[in-house]
Structure formats: structure tokens, C-alpha cells
Amino acid sequence: MSFDWMESKTPKKPSSAKAQVVRELEQRAAMLYRLGYDVGYVTRRCLTNLHWEFEGLGDPPISDTDVERLVVKRFKT
């Protein structure tokens, strides 16, 4: 007997680490933007969180410049 809740609904091809990090940073920047923080604070907060998450694991899959561009892009929309 098969149960649908026993079948995995996850995609077969996992997302790359960089795509996951970018998506999380976009969501964080959007949330902080909606809360009324300025672009400087949001950039610093995103960079600090990114470096904290990868502390001891090596370099993050996204550069600091890319994070700054992502935040600025969010504030332009």
C-alpha cells in the first residue's frame, strides 16, 4: 500500500549553495527594507550574517560586492 505522505516531494536536482545563499540574502534584505532600515545598515547586517554563517567553513559562495549589489538592487525597486 502506498501513502502519498511517504513520497518525497523534493526536487531531484538540489539547488546550488550559491543560489540558496542569494535567496536567503534577498529575503533578509527585503524584510529589513520593509522594516524601514537604510541601505547602509542592511548591507552591513547582510554581510555580517553571511560571514558569521561561514565562519570556520571557508569563504562564502558569494562575494561582498555581490551582496552590496543585491541590497542596492532591492532598495531601487
Instruction: Give average pLDDT by consecutive 10-residue segment, the chain, 77 residues.
Output: 70 72 93 94 95 90 93 87
**Residue 75: what pLDDT?**
87
Q: What number of other Cβ atoms are within 10 A of residue 66's Cβ?
A: 15
The C-alpha atoms of residue 42 and residue 68 are separated, in whole angstroms, by: 9
Would the pTM of this model clear 0.85, i.e. be above it?
no
Region of 67 (left: φ > 0; alpha: ψ -120 to 50; beta: rest) is alpha
**Residue 6: what pLDDT?**
72
Going from the C-alpha of 58 to that of each of 25, 31, 51, the distances in angstroms are 18, 27, 9
**Residue 35: what pLDDT?**
95
